């Protein structure tokens, strides 16, 4: 079944796909009236739908059934310093979405190689990866945040780092439901 994304879909009403998704359904996939598809809302909801109007600018759907996945009891938040090449950041967003990362924040450090991001482009990559991997949750993607501000706004029960001292397995120390992971730039955090 073909997958589409629309965060505004509501059960119990006829729904019209965005112009971009309508064009993809009607022109690219050649779907017609009566064909079935699934719409993801990125918040755990999946809607089994059938097409009632097939036009490249306006594809209207009847919602037949709704499925709701429960949010996992844990959340994984990755904060990463962006790399110089945008393709690597897109790849990262894609893979993080596929494995179920809950939230992604980009850190601005003094050694960061990139100072600007294209949030719309990164969100499109995440949506594409969510549909491709059939995940029902879209990760929250935050823009660039100063490293020091990020540390002040978030409290960490454990700060793991490379050191020559005594080593403890992370599982023996970290038992929280929320797991922040920070990845610094080449040259380390600042």
Strands 36-40 and 15-16, by their bridges, are: unpaired
Higher pLDDT, 83 or 187: 83
Give pLDDT, residue 188: 64
pTM given for the model: 0.82
Domain 2-68 has what CATH class?
Answer: mainly beta
| Averaged pLDDT for residues 26-44 | 95
Give the domain 75-183 fold.
Alpha/beta knot (3.40.1280)
What confidence tens digit (pLDDT) does each residue in 150-181 have? Answer: 888 876 665 555 667 776 665 655 556 777 77
Which of 19, 71, 11 has its CA nearest to residue 39?
Answer: 11
Domain spans in the chain, listed from the N-terminal domain onward: 2-68, 75-183
What confidence tens digit (pLDDT) does each residue in 49-105 have? Answer: 999 999 999 999 999 999 999 988 888 889 888 888 888 889 999 999 999 999 999
Residue 24 has a CB neighbour count (10 Å cut-off) of 17
């Amino acid at each position: 079944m073909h997958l589409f994304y629309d965060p505004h879909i509501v059960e119990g009403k006829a729904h019209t796909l965005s112009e971009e998704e309508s064009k993809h359904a009607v022109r690219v996939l050649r779907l017609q009236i009566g064909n079935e598809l699934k719409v993801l809302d990125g918040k755990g909801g999946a809607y089994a739908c059938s097409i009632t109007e097939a036009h490249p600018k306006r594809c209207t759907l009847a919602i037949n059934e709704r499925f709701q996945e429960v949010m996992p009891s844990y959340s994984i938040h990755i904060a990463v310093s962006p790399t110089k090449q945008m393709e690597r950041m897109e790849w990262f967003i894609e893979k993080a979405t596929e494995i179920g990362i809950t939230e992604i924040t980009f850190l601005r450090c003094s050694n960061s190689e990139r100072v600007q991001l294209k949030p719309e482009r990164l969100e499109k990559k995440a949506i594409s990866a969510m549909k491709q991997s059939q995940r029902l949750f879209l990760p929250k993607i935050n823009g660039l945040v100063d490293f020091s501000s990020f540390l002040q706004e978030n409290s960490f029960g454990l700060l793991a780092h490379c050191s020559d001292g005594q080593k403890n397995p992370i599982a023996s120390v970290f038992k929280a439901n929320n797991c922040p992971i920070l990845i610094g730039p080449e040259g380390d955090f600042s």
